[in-house]
């Protein structure tokens, strides 16, 4: 079982729609690409719920700052994963 699969899919879809040419790439200076990279890494995490939670929080905050989500939307997205025991 992975962490935050619903949240990852929604955020990845948003970023891919807004930045169709961006590919996942590590590097904080390339934020859309870095966020996609972080989503890939969260999917690979095992036995690291705290780390996954911190990383998804960072991705959500960045997505909010970019104007693609409100904080309430982020809460609602994560709530679905928590209710399905994907936290």
pLDDT in tens, 14-55: 999 999 999 999 998 888 999 999 999 999 999 999 999 999
d(CA 16, CA 36): 9
Percent of the chain topping pLDDT 90: 89
87 pLDDT above the threshold of 80 = no
When the pLDDT of each residue in the chain is averaged and rounded to a whole number, the result is: 94
Q: Provide the pLDDT for residue 86.
A: 80
Q: Provide the pLDDT for residue 85.
A: 85
- What burial letters (b/e) apply to 49-80, b meaning 16+ CB within 10 Å? eeebeebbeebbebbeeeeebeeeebeebbee
1 pLDDT above the threshold of 70 = no
Q: Is residue 5 packed enough to be buried (19+ CB in 10 Å), middle (13-18) or exposed (0-12)?
A: middle
């Amino acid at each position: 079982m992975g962490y935050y699969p619903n949240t990852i899919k929604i955020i990845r879809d948003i970023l891919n729609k807004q930045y169709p040419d961006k590919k996942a790439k590590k590097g904080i200076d390339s934020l859309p690409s870095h966020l996609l990279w972080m989503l890939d890494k969260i999917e690979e995490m095992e036995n690291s719920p705290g780390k996954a939670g911190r990383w998804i929080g960072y991705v959500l905050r960045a997505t909010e700052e970019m104007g693609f989500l409100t904080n309430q939307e982020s809460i609602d997205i994560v709530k679905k994963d928590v209710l399905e025991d994907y936290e």
